[in-house]
Structures are given as C-alpha cells and as structure tokens.
Amino acid sequence: MPLRSRLAIMSAVAVAIAIGAVALVSYVAVRDRLHGQMDSAIAGSRDPGFGLHFGDPAGGWDPNKSPCHIRGPADTTGAADATDPAHIDPNNYPPPAVGVTFYDGQQTCPLPGSTAVKGQASDLQVMNAPPGHGTWRDGVTTTGAKVRVEVVANPDPFHPGVFLKSQAYGPIDDSLSSLAWLLIVVSLIGVGGAATAGLLVARAGLRPVDELTSAVEHVARTEDLSVRMPVSGDDEIARLSESFNSMTAALQASRDEQKRLVDDAGHELRTPLTSLRTAIDLLIRSEESGRPLPEGKRTELLTGARTQMRELTVLIADLLELSRPEQAMSVTAPVALHEVTARAVERVRPRGAARDAPVTIIDDLHPWTTHGDGAALERAVVNLLDNAVKFSPPGAAVEVRLANGSLTVRDRGPGIPPEELPHVFERFWRSPTARAMPGSGLGLAIAARAARESGGIIAFEKPYDGPGTIARLFLPGTSEA
C-alpha cells in the first residue's frame, strides 16, 4: 500500500477513535441525564397515601372488600368529612406521566389513568421500611412496556401493600435512538472527511518525498550523479534532501577520484611497461636473428628491465595501498612511534649509504605512543625518509627527530617552491624538477593518508636556518608506555 494511503487510513482511524469516544461519552451522558430526570419526575410526583378509597366503586366505602376497588384520593382541603364520596376530587391523582399501581402481594390495582405494573414479591419488603423510603427497579407493565418503578409503602394499616410509581421508558428510548442515529451519521461523515483530508494532506506533504524518490530512481537508472535536490527550510525533508545531495556529491567525487587514479595509474604504468617491452623485444630479436648484442648492451638491457620491474612492483604495491577504503582511526591498537621510526630509519639507511657520496641519517627519537596502524605509519615514515635521501645533496645528512608526538625529517636539498606545496600530497603529482628521478608520485599521498587515519597531520615547512625542507608528522598520543 502506498505511503499516502497508509497515512490517510491512519488519520481516518485516529479520527474515528476520537469521534467514537466523544459520541459514546455524549450518548452515555445524555442517557444518564434523561434517566435522572425520569427518576426526579417519579420521586417528585405526589406520593399515594391516606385518602385512597378501597371498596365498592358503585357504593360506599368498605375496607373489607377487594383493594382493587380504588375510587381515588379525598379532597382534604375542604371542611367536610374526607371519607364522604361527595368530597372526592377525581383530578387529585398523581400526574398522568407517572402511573400508580397498588400491589398487595396477590394482585395489582392501577389507579385510574394508569397502566398496571407487574409487582414482584421483593417489592413487599418496602412495607417494613421507614416512611419516605422506597426502592427503585426496572419493570414492565401488563402490556409488556418497559417502565422505571419506584416502590413505596402504603401507609394505610387497613390495606397493607405497596404502591408502584412508574414512568414508561418509551419516550426516552425514542430520544436516545434518534440521538444514536444522529451520532452515527455525524461520525461517518467525520471519518470520511478525515480520510479525504488525510489523503490530500499526505499527497501534499509527501510531494518532496516523491520528487526525491524520482531523483533516486533516475540516479539508479542512469548513474547520473550530478542530480541535486532543491533544499528549503530545515525540516526532515530538507535534511533528507541535504543528505541526498551530500551522498551524490561524495559518490561523484569518489567516481572522479577513481577515474583520475585509473588514468594516472595507466599513465605511470605505461612508461615502465614500454621500457620493459623495448628491452625484451631487443633481446628476443637478438636471439632470433642470431646476432648477439654486445655484452655491455645486453647487461644494460637486463639491468634496466630489472629496474623497471622493481618500479612496477613498488607502483603496484602503492596502488593497492591507495585502493583500500580510507577510514579515520580504522585501527586503534597502541603503536610505539619511536620504535616504528627506528625501524624505518634502519630500512632507509642502506639506500643513503649506497649513493656515490653516502647520505647519512642522524636520528634523535624520544618515546611516544599513539594509536593507529603500525605498518601504515612505518611505510609513511619510510616514504618521508626516502624523499629526504633522494633530494639530499651528496655527502649531506638527514636529521630525524621525534619529541612530544612531532616527527620531523630535515634534508638539505633544494627545497619545495611555495607554489608547489599545495600539490605535494596529491596522487601521482611530481614536481617538474623531480620527474627525471625514479618514483611513482604516490609516496607522499600514502603518508598523508596514514596520518589522517591515525588522527594526525602532516605538512612540509621551509627551514629558517638554511636550504632544504622539513617534513613534519604530528600524531596525538602520550610519552608514557
């Protein structure tokens, strides 16, 4: 199901629950109110008592005859005898809305204008209750209509029994039924309106998401990473658009860097491969033609091929190192930087000694422990030392010092022009004055990468006391073991 449909359904369900709760509370409140008004009307009606005449309706009053012969209450406001039938007020019954039925345990006798209510044996318990106390219950008339009943005792000692004061539920039930249908119709209209409004709001609110989805699908289909989403505001959609733009920009930069790496690697590999192919072609042609090359020329070709193979090996190793994903602090093992630097010095020292005029390496290393990849850091230091030995003049010295996490490599070479400093850590970049020297142009890039992964920084400085260059590598850590 689409997201907008789910939102519309959820909003409709939420509104339905709210409307249902309000409707239920309203219905219960109105029902209780009407029932309370009914009870108040029954309780407030005139209580039957003395003055009701039990006897023969055609003659005088006889208390020994059937109690169903009830003639009505006497008018006690006159001066005449209250038992005189001439003074009976036929209108002095309880209000017509409240019916009164006499029940003596054997039969029920409704007052004129009332419908007989069926009595129950439990109603007679009220006869022993104090005056003015009654009980309430739901009952039915002899015709089957539901009524609300108040049971009160008959105070006449000659005719023991109870009076059942009742009022029909019919009008209240009709009103409640009408109210229930009204609430149902209003609720349905409200739920339908909420679903429609939810669908419209979801459609409008999810329009940026639809646009972002279309952009993602376009990128997945065409691999066009130049797509950018417009960003407005600072809500969730805006943050999502910014994240999408950052992702596509990072992917585009990664693709460009990968393409540049492949192009540069192809360019760098072309030179040693061409030299190797030329040397091998000359050697094969010499063998096939039966004309051996001069011994010096043959040795020169083989030496050159070995040199080119060595350069290819170094270049491929550097490319493999740079091809792995870069992650800051990918390895958090403690590394003794002074030991790593000492091993690097021992590896490079023979290279300086092999020059016509040996280049010496002077080291001054103080203990320093950092976190990172020990092999990567050692290779970075080796690359810095290789550069220093390579560009040092014959017979010069390279100074290596480690103190408080700052490793400096000082040479006495020609130095780096200021305009070239921003490019020294780029892949395959080589100074125009150094392109005739062996190297792949990846050593400093690998050193910078190792510094970043260990949380450090690397930079080149111009010394203040003479020619040369100072390579400075700083790594956070401690002088304690």
Q: What is the pLDDT of residue 71?
A: 58
Shared domain for 245 and 159, answered yes or no, is: no
How confident is the model at residue 285, as a pLDDT?
83
Read off the CATH number of the domain in which 449 is found: 3.30.565.10
Q: Please, are residues 420 and 433 in contact by the beta-carbon 8 Å criterion? A: no
**Do 73 and 143 reside in the same domain of the chain?**
yes
Which residue type, as a one-letter code, is found at position 373? D
Q: How is residue 443 written in tokens?
A: 């050593």
Of 141, 169, 197, the one marking the end of a domain is: 169
Q: Among 65-79, 88-102, 111-125, 290-304, name the one with the lowest average pLDDT.
A: 65-79
The dihedral sign for the CA sequence 133, 138, 141, 147: positive
Q: Is residue 260 part of a domain?
A: yes
Paired strand residues for 140: 146
Dihedral, 446, 451, 452, 458 alpha carbons, nearest 10: -100
Q: What is the pLDDT confidence band of residue 73, given thresholds at 50, 70 and 90?
A: low
The Cα–Cα gap between 375 and 388 comes to: 20
Instruction: Say yes or no: 87 and 118 in one domain.
Output: yes
* Model pLDDT, residue 408: 92
350 neighbors 359 (Cβ within 8 angstroms): no
More confident residue, 223 or 341: 341
In a domain, 206, yes or no: no
Could you report the per-residue pLDDT of 266-292, keeping only the tens digit for each? 766 776 787 788 888 888 888 778 777
Whether 3 is in a domain gets the answer no
Q: Are residues 133 and 152 in the same domain?
A: yes
Query: Measured at the alpha carbon of residue 118, what is the angle toward residues 114 and 123, in degrees to the nearest 5?
Result: 110
Question: What are 33-66's pLDDT values in tens digits?
Answer: 999 988 888 887 776 665 565 655 454 445 555 5
Q: How far from chain centre, in Å, is Cα 216?
A: 21
Contact criterion met (CB below 8 Å) for 477 and 370: yes
**Cβ(247)–Cβ(241) under 8 Å?**
no
Of 277, 304, 323, the domain-final residue: 323
pLDDT band at 32 (very low <50, low <70, confident <90, very high): very high
Q: Say whether 411 sits in a helix, a strand or coil.
A: strand
Asked if residue 98 belongs to a domain, the reply is yes
Could you report the per-residue pLDDT of 142-182, keeping only the tens digit for each?
A: 888 999 999 988 877 777 888 888 989 888 889 899 999 99
In a domain, 207, yes or no: no
Containing H/E element for 406?
strand 406-411
On whether both 242 and 301 belong to a single domain, the answer is yes
CB count in 10 Å sphere of residue 464:
6
Q: Mean pLDDT across the chain, nearest whole number?
A: 79
* pLDDT at position 410: 92
Return the structure tokens found at 355: 């020059």
Confidence of residue 444 (pLDDT cuts 50, 70, 90): confident
Report pLDDT for 367. Answer: 92
- Tell me which H or E stretch contains 261: helix 236-289
Per cent of the chain over pLDDT 70 is 81
User: Is 225 within the bounds of a domain?
Assistant: no
Looking at the structure, do residues 314 and 339 belong to the same domain, yes or no? Answer: no
Edge-to-edge strand list for the sheet holding 369-371: 334-336, 369-371, 477-478
pLDDT at 78: 35
Whether 314 and 359 share a structural domain: no
pLDDT of residue 437: 57
CA dist 155 and 478 (Å) reads 105
Predicted pLDDT at 329: 47
Tokens 């003395």 identify what position? 50
- Cβ atoms of 293 and 282 within 8 Å: the answer is yes
With 0-12 CB in 10 A as exposed, 13-18 as middle and 19+ as buried, what is 80? exposed
Contact 393, 466 (CB under 8 A): no
147 close to 137: Cβ distance less than 8 angstroms: no
Question: Does a structural domain hold residue 24?
Answer: no
Q: Within 10 Å of residue 68's Cβ, how many Cβ atoms?
A: 14
Collapsing DSSP to helix, strand or coil, 235 comes out as coil
474 and 339 share one domain: yes
Cβ proximity of 315 and 269 under 8 Å: yes
* pLDDT for residue 100: 85
> What pLDDT digit, counting tens, does each position of 302-325 carry?
887 787 787 777 777 767 766 666
Residues 215 and 224: their CA atoms lie apart, in Å, by: 10
First to last CA, the chain: 61
The partner residues of 471 in beta bridges, in order of sequence, read 409, 460
For residues 286 and 342, membership in a common domain is answered with no
What average pLDDT does this structure show over 7-29?
88
pLDDT of residue 432: 58
List 399's β-bridge partners, or say none: 362, 410
Taking a C-beta distance cutoff of 8 angstroms, is the pair 156, 52 a contact?
yes
In our burial notation (b when 16+ CB lie closer than 10 A, e otherwise), range 310-321 reads ebbebbeebbeb
> Does residue 353 sit in the same domain as residue 460?
yes
* Per-position b or e across 102-140, b if 16+ CB within 10 A of its CB: bbbeeebbbbeebebbbbbeebbebeeeeeeebeeeebe
Shortest CA distance to 244 belongs to which of 220, 274, 277?
220
Q: What tens digit of pLDDT does each residue of 330-353 get? A: 556 888 999 999 999 998 888 888
Do 63 and 162 lie in one domain? The reply is yes
- Token code pair at residue 433: 């004055």
Domain that residue 302 falls in: 236-323
What pLDDT score does 339 carry?
92
DSSP assignment of 53-118 equals PBS-TTSS--TTS-TT-B---B-TTSSS-TT-GGGB-TT-SSPTTSEEEEE-SS-EEEPTT-PPBP
Question: Which of 145, 169, 193 corresponds to the end of one domain?
Answer: 169
Q: Any idea what the CATH number is for the domain that residue 314 is in? A: 1.10.287
pLDDT at 136 over 80: yes
Residues 159 and 101 in one domain: yes
Tokens matching residue 214: 């279309």
255 versus 168: the higher-pLDDT residue is 168
Q: What's the total number of domains in the chain?
A: 3
Instruction: Kindly tell me if the per-residue pLDDT of 140 is higher than 80.
Output: yes
The pLDDT value given to residue 66: 55
> Is 53 within 8 Å of 72 (Cβ atoms)?
yes
pLDDT score of 29: 93
CB contact set of 458 (below 8 Å; sequence gap of 6+): 380, 425, 447, 448, 451, 471, 472, 473, 474
- Residues 85/71, Cβ–Cβ less than 8 Å: yes
Q: Is residue 56 assigned to a domain?
A: yes
